Amino acid sequence: MENKKYQSKEAILELYNSPLLELIYKAATVHREHHNPNEVQLSSLISIKTGGCPEDCGYCPQSAKYNTEVEPHKMMEVCDVVSQAKNAKANGASRLCMGAAWKNIRDNRDFDKVVQMVQEVTNLDMEVCCTLGMMTEDQAQRLKNAGLYAYNHNLDSSREFYKDIISTREYDERLETIDNAKKAGISVCSGGIIGMGESVEDRIGMLQTYQLMETPPDSIPINALVAVEGTPLEEQEPVPIWDMIRMIATTRILFPTSVVRLSAGRTQMSKEGQALCFMAGASSIFAGDKLLTTPNPEYNDDMELFKLLGLTPTKPFQNGEKPTVGEDTGVNEMKQKNAEKEERLAARSIQFNKAGDDFKPRKFSEVDSIQE
């Protein structure tokens, strides 16, 4: 649902630039009308395939085009992802987000593994969100059938500023992926990053793009740029906390029922700054020491902040029904091949052991001396 009161860019700019305490008050009032102000969702973000991305997003250390300290890693094993999901759930997380450094999803074994991850983590009673790059309708439907709850695909900024930070993916391609997720009945998570050198008008332009959608995103993450050495944006100064608060408050007022997520950049924020973000309508954070490859506050630090502010973690599926986990042909075939491979390896091991049991060393005649 969107707020019909603010339709023009001028009206939104006036809202954004209104006296800060008045803006926070308006946002807090809207937030309490549609959400429990004492609950904040804890989400955990796992980089299931790290680095080597062919895109040139100016903010991203995982791009293969930049010389950063990120070491590329192949796709994680399903069992390792499930283990991390169980640990995250034990620490209070109700949502697991899985990110892969891809430009787009390819219909291969790695995607089969992602589908299996979705199935198994959903069966842990956790919301599962994926961010895997561009996605077709068929791929979206397959993920939905596996039990995917949400798909993240950020617009990052306004259409006008977008071309200054990315050249390898069109703005309309991002919109198409969002539409494909909606068509499959997947909850959409889409937002942006501030502090990249954009203007306030660019920030408002991104929000207006969401306003023009038939159905706005169910959740809107607001990220503060984490400038990483080796990327084109490495010299950007940290965005002021007041800008984050204004952006979160404006987003909350424009989209009353959406979940506004306080995402990257929290290591640069004081506890007081984060508290004002919650007051202004943020109702989700990422817990754990990393967001994909960038730093994030430690879990214990977040729990101390929650205790201080009287906040409790949100339970899963408060904003939608738990998806049904269906069978998947690709996953079943992969499991069958893995089982057959294990059987062959076991058979070879048995044969090797038998050969070892029959082994008898050669006997040599004793030699009293060696004659030269």
Per-block mean pLDDT, blocks of 10 residues, the chain (372 long): 78 96 97 96 92 87 84 90 93 92 93 96 96 96 97 96 93 96 97 96 96 94 92 92 97 96 89 96 80 60 91 92 92 87 77 62 53 44
pLDDT at 67: 82
Q: Does domain 9-323 have CATH number 3.40.640.10?
A: no
Nearest-angstrom CA–CA distance, 209 and 233: 24
CA count, 13 A, side-chain hemisphere, 137: 2
Query: Which residues fall within 8 angstroms of residue 249, CB to CB, at 6 or more apart?
Result: 23, 24, 26, 27, 280, 281
* Element holding 286 (H helix, E strand): strand 282-286
Task: Supply 276's token pair.
Answer: 């004002």
pLDDT at 372: 43
Nearest-angstrom CA–CA distance, 98 and 84: 11
- Nearest in space to 276 (alpha carbons), one of 251, 304, 309: 309
pLDDT at 361: 61
Task: Supply 109's token pair.
Answer: 């074994």
* Helices and strands: H and E segment counts in the chain: 12, 12
Nearest-angstrom CA–CA distance, 222 and 215: 19
pLDDT at 340: 83
The structural domains of the chain, with segments of one domain joined by +, span 9-323, 329-354
3-state secondary structure of 276: helix
- 239, 195 in Cβ contact below 8 A? yes
Bridge partners of 82?
none
Catalytic residue set: 53, 57, 60, 97, 129, 189, 261
- 219, 260 in Cβ contact below 8 A? yes
pLDDT at 362: 62
Bridge partners of 134?
104
Residue 23's CB is within 10 A of a number of other CB atoms, namely: 21
pLDDT at 71: 81
3-state secondary structure of 247: helix
pLDDT at 162: 95
- What pairing do the DSSP bridges indicate for beta strands 294-295 and 290-291? antiparallel
- What pairing do the DSSP bridges indicate for beta strands 187-189 and 127-131? unpaired
- 194, 240 in Cβ contact below 8 A? no
